[in-house]
Chains A and B, each alone.
Chain A
Amino acid sequence: MSLNSYRTGPDEKGHFGKFGGRYVSETLMPLVHQVEKAYREAMQDPEYLRELDELNRVYIGRPNPLYYAERLTEHLGGAKVYLKREDLNHTGAHKINHAIGQVLLAKRMGKTRVIAETGAGQHGVATATVAARFGLECTVFMGAVDIERQKPNVFRMKLLGAEVKPVTSGSATLKDAMNDALRDWVTNVHDTFYIIGTVAGPHPYPMLVRDFQSIIGRETKEQIMHLEGRLPDSLVACVGGGSNAMGLFHPFLDDTDVKMYAVEASGHGLDTDKHAASIAGGKPGVLHGNRTYLLQNEDGQITEAHSISAGLDYPGIGPEHVWLHEAGRVNYVSATDDEALEAFQLLCRCEGIIPALESSHALAQVIRMAPSLPKDHIIVMNLSGRGDKDIFTVADALGAEI
């Protein structure tokens, strides 16, 4: 990669430095090569790009607002806080951005069926939505534990015509759902497209999901120039696999005055074994098609992640994030379950916005940093999803009866 840009990765084999790559079984290798070829061709095809643009506008409802959080700003008493309103997208989160892009690819490749893994259910809902929109068969793999804590999203997927397959292996959460999705894909290579829900997996997925999500950062850049006449000082986003963070950050990576904070979920705390912070608490390894940082034991066995937020409950992180961490371009910090819960409630009361528990981790970092920053410091936080899906979890954590 060229030293004067942070935006040239991955290399042609899908590596970001020593991370990324294509670590899948041989049966899948021709498939991932085909996906890459189809993707590169699509990006050169004006008709594909026109359709993507049209769907972004009239189906997702983009561009969504960059919203000045006036009362939150006053409450924190320091930096000026803007929220990028991905929660206002159709289906209520940023996941629809890459689902639309990928379903168009699936259609282009002549596939009749799509599969996906899901944690919080947002990516599953997004996939079920685009499958319904394009008349494709859809199966979503979801950990049995997540099915229990994300019931509203499970029902939404079913309403949308998707089959939701409970995954009981391992810890019955997102990583195990991804294992089962890979097992399904290798068994149904001829008719099935795997719509991966984050910037991870074998090349080209980390690149392709990032590119589809980069619309977040591109819009933000345009909107903040219009509102403030300059770029923001800081960007903040939560990171599990890291798709919403990569989407916001990528267009700004070479604007080196813009500081970036990616917030991992530290669950019960980094000093416990109940967290999901792969960068803070993991080490390099190979899982789910890529080399990245993973939560693992001495023997290289993957350990279970924990976060109150199902969407961040994953023992790995996208390879480009690891590269940006090692390059020192992005600051990886963390927020606990309790901090996220506090932040969740604050936004509800201050701004009349119920944030997703995932996004609440980003908000916890904003709450931490904004008070000590000057009033002309501009923070843009990615409000990656809405929190309606989380009200049962939050009620439970607060000891409230619904």
Chain B
Amino acid sequence: MALIKTQTHQPIAHDERKQARDCNSLLLELENDNPMARRWAARDLADCPAASAALVSRLQLEDDVSVREVILTTLTVMGNEVAVVGLVNCLRSEKVALRNEAIEAMKQLPDEVAPIMRGLLADADPDVRIFAVNILESLRHPEVESWLISVIDHDPELNVCATAVDLLGEVGSSASREPLLRLKARYTQVPYIQFATDLALKRISDG
């Protein structure tokens, strides 16, 4: 027994994927009991745009994080309307992990998410609005600051504004100054808002 080199140099063309890889059989595989089979199916379904609806509904049920991750990657690659709507629906899920995974996936889709961002930031559910601000954190889009300003000027929910202020400390320019001062004046009784707006204002004026 010793250190040995790989005995065989076969380029492994046939791996675990036994099933014929057409879209229909992949959809069936998505329900397989074996998470490994579901992972491979979710990955290969990237070439089947019509499968986005099935992936979205599987995502809601899927308990295995490794399968969910692949489904989210595939949906991100697809980036079609069904995929994006599916991701938005995850934000309303009771499952915290799924919500946060969806937020991370949506950060990767600036072009697809930008058109619906105003809608998300105006959603009736304050939690969804907080998640929308979370998405802005890494969204490569020129309007991020103006969206955040509109949040702190208009959102009635304290915690939505608080989340936006955190990000403005990083991305805010002098355009954010007045809105931050207005927010600060609106919540004089809330120590956290006083702290957060002061911090953001300091970073903006120094910057």
* A and B bind: no
Which A positions have Cβ atoms within 8 angstroms of B? none
Which B positions have Cβ atoms within 8 angstroms of A? none
